Copies of this chain bind each other. A is one copy, B any other.
Amino acid sequence: MATHERPEASERERLRRDALGILRQALVAVDPYAAMKAHLRREGDILTVGGRSYDLGRIQRIFVVGAGKASARMALAVEDILGNRVTAGLVNVKYGHAETLKKVRIKEAGHPVPDAAGLEGAREILDIVSTAGENDLVLCLISGGGSSLLPLPAAGIELADKQKTTQVLLGCGATIHEMNAVRKHISLLKGGGLARAAAPAHVVSLILSDVIGDDLDVIASGPTVPDRSTFASALDVLERYGVAGQIPDGVRRRLEAGARREVPETPKPGDRLFENVTNLIVASNAIAVDAAARAAEGLGYHPLVLSSSIQGEAREVGRVMAAVAREILASGRPVAKPACVLAGGETTVTLRGGGLGGRNQELALAAALDMEGLPDVLVLAAGTDGTDGPTDAAGAFAFGDTVARAREAGMSPRAHLENNDSYHFFKALGDLVVTGPTRTNVMDLLLILAGPAPGMADYPETVADPPAAREPM
């Protein structure tokens, strides 16, 4: 007779362990190196990516370019897959985000404020892809921060002019699409510029998305994506918000020249050059959320993906999460117990106090307040980059007994929330989520576990010997 010991951990610890296991699987799925290996498959001379196959026997040269915080690790995966077949390349990354590579050079540069190093790297990238011919393959590796890390203003425009333009547009309330309409028309690489420079080569962009909605047009301002906006629509934006007078002269002159067709438009949807271009998202919040759902299912939870585009004030999103947790416990809706509800996105915090915390920890604290006294429930919120605000934690766990344990420890949960001091709150409870830097970033992961942890709840005291083979009937 086989005997299994019944775990002594409390229900809270079982839920915590399951949540961490689910988070870990989600992080593995969006690790830049693992994601590249999952999407760029090589069998002998056949390279398959995004539904297209390339015969390496017919490809002369392979160039690797790109920009973004995770792009060096993406390049490392490319070198491990393609080895000596990589001809050359250059990737712009944020200071401190380099890797040791064989063929691809790394340029460390300024982020979020672009600098001269980024500009120099972007010029070299333009030079590299411009030499590519129809038998060449350009792999473009884009990740979070790719916009600031790929700055190449058109002639007559300084980096400072671009930054001033961005500030003015942010200040007047322009949408991200309106802002990009302008930015794409004063840049040489954005809005499809990189793809045009690389033509007639084959171009495959491999993208790690850190934006809500995974809009290819928006990520790094779409260097290999057709641009729907025009010089005229960019000028419209300035007029609509009455900010034409605040925009640097060089920028305005370029937009006006473009509207007069004196400089070429960005490449548009339907342009034949895009026939050779593939854009593929290899890691994103949706992919992390999917992986988390599969992991939860593997642990015996009923998974439900709520959304991978959650936005809003962290503490209010936390209250909605708590309301969903409450409903699962009360009625088995929107999904039956044991339930794992998954969501992703990126919330924001309006600072009110002088405490220490981050959006995910604050979300968890607000959820804890609304879940007071509920049994068998957990909310986890964590940044997939392993960082939440200016803290060493990725996020925090909230449980039904978080508020009670905090009060026993002499803390006022509401006071900590009002003071934006979620870090010290969860640190005192031992309920921080600490992963260390993950070297990826697909925004945040939120999850609810509700109902006794599966498996354990029905865990038998002993497991009987397997039944003897059945007698024939």
> What chain B residues lie within 8 Å of A372 (beta carbons)?
175
Q: Is the interface of A mostly helix, strand, loop or mixed?
A: mixed
B305 touches A333 (CB 8 A): yes
- Count chain A residues whose beta carbon lies closer than 8 angstroms to a beta carbon of B: 33
Q: Which residue on B lies nearest to A366, using beta carbons? A: B312
- Bound-state CA distance A330–B320 (Å) is 21
Beta-carbon contact of B311 and A313 below 8 Å = no
A213 touches B326 (CB 8 A): yes
A327 cross-chain contacts in B, Cβ below 8 A: 305-309
Residue numbers in B under 8 Å from A304 (CB-CB)? 333-334
Is A319 close to B, CB under 8 A? yes
* Contact assessment for A323 and B305 in the assembled complex, using a CB-CB cutoff below 8 Å: no
With contact pairs A312-B316, A316-B313 given, residues A286 and B323 touching in the complex (Cβ less than 8 Å): no
Interface: A173 (CB within 8 A): yes
Among residues 33 to 49 in chain A, which have CB atoms less than 8 Å away from a CB atom of chain B? none
Q: Is the CB of B173 within 8 A of A311?
A: no
Q: Mark A352-364, 1 if CB is under 8 A from B, else 0.
A: 0000000000000
Pick from A320, A333, A334, A372 the residue with the most CB of B within 10 Å.
A320
**CB closest chain-B residue, reference A331:** B286
Tell whether, in the assembled complex, residue B333 and residue A310 are in contact, meaning their CB atoms are under 8 Å apart: no
Whether A247 is near chain B, meaning CB under 8 Å from some CB there, is no
A314-358 residues with Cβ-Cβ distance < 8 A to B are: 315-317, 319-320, 323-324, 326-327, 330-331, 333-335, 343, 345
- Kindly identify, within residues 111 to 140 of chain A, every residue whose CB is under 8 Å from any CB belonging to chain B: none
The answer on a CB contact under 8 Å between A334 and B305 is: yes
* A 279-321 to B, binary, CB cutoff 8 A, 1 in contact else 0: 0000000100000000000000000111111111101110110
Looking at the complex, which one of B173, B311, B317, B320 makes contact with A414 (CB distance below 8 Å)? B173
The chain B residue with its CB closest to the CB of A240 is: B407
The reply to whether B334 and A334 form a contact with Cβ atoms under 8 Å apart is: yes
Q: Is the pair B312, A324 in contact by a Cβ cutoff of 8 Å?
A: no
In the bound complex, CA of A334 to CA of B315 (Å): 22
Once A173-B414, A313-B313, A334-B334 are accepted as A-B contacts, the answer to whether A307 and B324 lie under 8 Å apart by CB is yes
A370 within 8 Å of B (CB atoms): yes
Quote the shortest CB–CB distance from A333 to chain B (angstroms). Answer: 4
Knowing A173-B414, A286-B331, the reply to whether A312 touches B305 (Cβ < 8 A) is: no
Enumerate chain B residues within 8 angstroms of A307, measured Cβ to Cβ. 320, 323-324, 326-327, 333-334
- If A326-B213, A334-B334 touch, does A312 touch B306 (CB 8 Å cutoff)? no
A326 proximity list for chain B (CB < 8 A): 213, 307, 309
Given A306-B334, A309-B330, A317-B319, 16 more A-B residue pairs with CB atoms under 8 Å apart are A173-B414, A213-B326, A286-B330, A286-B331, A305-B331, A306-B327, A307-B324, A307-B326, A308-B331, A310-B320, A312-B315, A312-B316, A312-B320, A313-B313, A317-B320, A323-B343
Can you list 15 residue pairs at the A/B interface with Cβ under 8 Å? A175-B372, A213-B330, A304-B334, A307-B323, A307-B333, A308-B327, A309-B323, A310-B319, A310-B323, A312-B316, A313-B316, A316-B320, A323-B343, A323-B345, A334-B334
Closest CB pairs A-B (n = 10)? A316-B316, A312-B319, A307-B327, A307-B323, A312-B316, A305-B333, A309-B323, A313-B316, A310-B323, A307-B324
